[in-house]
Amino acid sequence: MRTQVVIIGSGPSGLLLGQLLSQQGIETVILDRVSKDYILSRVRAGVLEEGTVQLMEKVGAAKRLHQEGLPHNGFSLTFDGRDHRIDLVDLTSGKRVMVYGQTEVTHDLMDAREAAGLVTIYDAADVEPHEFEGSGPYVTYRKDGINHRIDCDFIAGCDGFHGVSRKSVADGAIKEFEKIYPFGWLGILADVPPVNHELIYANHPRGFALCSMRSHTRSRYYVQCSLEDRLEDWSDQRFWDEIRRRLPDSHAESMVIGPSFEKSIAPLRSFVSEPMRFGRLFLAGDAAHIVPPTGAKGLNLAASDVHYLSEALIEFYRDRSDAGIDFYSQKALSRVWKAVRFSWWMTTMMHRFTDTGDFGQRIQEAELDYLVQSRAASTALAENYVGLPY
C-alpha cells in the first residue's frame, strides 16, 4: 500500500490531523494499536479552547459539540473557605471555553472520518516507522497475523506518551525535559447534577479538588491523591466525604452525591521532547509533550500542534515548499512551552506539597489572595486558561 501521510494514533491528534489534511486532498491512513471501542472507553479531557472548537468547525465535526457542549464564561477558585469567580469573558474581552468531553470530540472526529470514507486500521499490532530520516519512509504493522507495509511521504506520530514514534528516534537526536509531581488525581464520573454551573478549582490544606462536568446531569470530579493510593482504597463514600471537605461549606452542603460509574487514578507529569520533527517523522500531541491536567491544556495543545503540522504539510504539497515543515517544530514548541509553564504554575499553586507543608500553604493562599484582587494577575490567568493565540 502507498499513501501520502501515515498517521500513527487514532486519538484527537491523529483524527483531527487526518481531517485537516483530507480536506485539502491529501491522502492519509491512520493506524491504531487498539480498537475504536477501547479508544472511546477512555475518559480524559473536558475543556476545549476556542481554537480547538474552531478546528472542529473547520473539519465539519462541530455540530454535536454546539448542540451538547456547555459554553463557560468563567470558573471559580476556592481557597481559605472563600470562592472567587474568574470572569474569563470580562478579563479576555470576550473569550470563553467550551465544556465538552474528549470522548465526544474523538467520537465526532471518528464519525467525520468514516463519513469521508477515509481509512483507519484499528487493532494494528507492532506498528513501526522506518527510514524517516531518508526520503522513502514507510510504516510496518501486523494485523490478523499478516505483516503489512505502507510506503508514504511523511509519518505523523500522534500515538501519545507511550507510543512508538518518539521511541523510534535515535537517542542522540532527541532531548527530553520532565518533571514528575509527587501526587496523582483520582477522578470519578457520576450521573448527578454538577455542584456549580461552572468549574471549581479548589486549593485546600488537605489537597486539591476539581469540580467539573460533562452535562447538566453528569459530573466529573477529581481529588488530589497519593501516588501510593489504589482504586480499592477509595470507596464512593470516602471520595464524596473528601471532596466536600476540600470545598467551601456552601458548595459542600449543596453537592449532590451518588454512585460513580467510572473511577481512575492518573499520575501527573510535565514532559516535553525536543525537537518535534525528525526528517519525515513529525510528533504531535501527547507523543511530544504531557502537561498536568490542572490547566486543561493537554487536548488543546494537541489541537494547536496539528493545526501547525497540517498547515506545513498542505504548504508542502501545494507549493512544493519545505518552509513550513522546516519551521513546524520551532513554531509548535513555542506554544507548547508556554502551556507547559502555565500548567506547572497552576498545579504548583493549587496542590498540597508535603515538602513545603504549612508554609507552602500560606504562600499559595497569599498568591491566590493577590491573584483574585489584582486585575492584572487575573488577566494573565484568564488569557492562558482560554488559550494563547496560535
Residues annotated as catalytic (active site), given as ranges: 72, 201, 293, 297, 385
Binding of residue 302 to ligand FAS (CB under 6 A): yes
Taking the complex as a whole, the smallest distance from the CB of residue 14 to ligand FAS amounts, in Å, to 6
- Cell numbers standing for residue 175: 532531548
When binding is defined by CB under 6 A, the residue of 127, 202, 281, 382 that contacts ligand FAS is: 127
Comparison of 165 and 294: residue with beta carbon closer to ligand PHB: 294
Q: Which is nearer to ligand FAS, 372 or 381 (CB)?
A: 381
* CA–CA gap between residue 374 and residue 328 (Å, rounded): 36
Cα separation, 29 vs 352, whole angstroms: 44
Whose CA is closest to 386, among 222, 217, 199?
199
Task: Tell me how far, at minimum, the Cβ of 376 lies from ligand FAS, in Å.
Answer: 26
13: contact with ligand FAS by CB under 6 A: yes
Question: Among 33, 113, 204, 220, which residue sits at the site for ligand PHB (rule: CB under 6 A)?
Answer: 220
Helix, strand, coil abundance in the chain, percent, nearest 5: 40, 25, 30
- Residue 108 CA neighbour count, 13 Å, CB half: 24
Q: Which stretch binds ligand FAS (CB under 6 A): 2-10, 348-356, 361-369, 378-386?
A: 2-10
Residue 262 sits at the vertex; the CA angle it makes with 258 and 268, to the nearest 5 degrees, is 120
- Closest to ligand FAS by CB, 187 vs 372, is 187
CB of 214 to ligand PHB, least distance (A): 7
- Cβ-based neighbours of 206, under 8 Å, separated by 6 or more: 242, 245, 246, 352
Least separation in angstroms between residue 132's CB and ligand FAS is 15
329's CB contacts (< 8 A; 6+ apart) are 274, 275, 276, 277, 282
Question: Quick check: 11 binds ligand FAS (CB under 6 A)?
Answer: yes
Name the binder of 32 from ligand PHB, ligand FAS, none, CB < 5-8 A by kind. Answer: ligand FAS
From ligand FAS, ligand PHB, none, interface partner of 220 (C-beta below 5 to 8 A by class): ligand PHB
* Residue 101 is a binding residue for ligand FAS (CB under 6 A): no
Total residues interacting with ligand PHB, rule: CB under 6 A? 10
Q: Cα(323)–Cα(103) distance, rounded to whole angstroms?
A: 35
Tell me 73's DSSP state.
S
Among 14, 285, 293, 324, binds ligand PHB (CB under 6 A): 293
72 binds, among ligand PHB, ligand FAS, none (CB under 5 to 8 A by kind): none
Contact between 9 and ligand FAS (CB under 6 A)? Answer: yes
Q: Are 302 and 282 in contact (CB under 8 A)?
A: no
Query: Judged by CB, which is closer to ligand FAS: 299, or 368?
Result: 299
- Residue 160 in the binding site for ligand FAS (CB under 6 A): yes
Choosing from 16, 21, 30, 47, the residue that interacts with ligand PHB (CB under 6 A) is 47
When the beta carbons of 59 and 372 are compared against ligand FAS, the nearer one is 59
Question: Binding to ligand FAS by residue 137, rule CB under 6 A?
Answer: no
Binding to ligand PHB (CB under 6 A): which residues in 318-357? none
Q: Which helix H or strand E contains 39, and what residues bound it?
A: helix 36-41
Beginning with the edge strand found earlier in the chain, give each strand of the sheet holding 125-130 in spatial order.
Answer: 125-130, 138-143, 146-151
Among 44, 331, 351, 352, binds ligand FAS (CB under 6 A): 44
Which of residues 49, 153, 159, 242 is near ligand FAS by CB under 6 A?
Answer: 159
The count of other CB atoms within 10 Å of the CB of residue 71 is 14
Contact status: 77 vs ligand FAS (CB under 6 A) = no
DSSP string, 94-144: S--EEE--HHHHHHHHHHHHHHTT-EEE-S-EEEEEESTTSS--EEEEEET
Burial (CB count within 10 angstroms: exposed 0-12, middle 13-18, buried 19+), residue 223: buried
By residue count, the chain amounts to: 390
Residue 354 CB, shortest distance to ligand FAS, in Å, is: 23
Distances (CA, A) of 100 to 95, 142, 219: 16, 34, 12
Cell of 296: 486543561
| 157 near ligand FAS (CB under 6 A) | no
Residues that bind ligand FAS (CB under 6 A): 8-14, 31-34, 39, 44-46, 102, 124, 127, 158-160, 162-164, 266, 285-286, 293, 296-299, 302
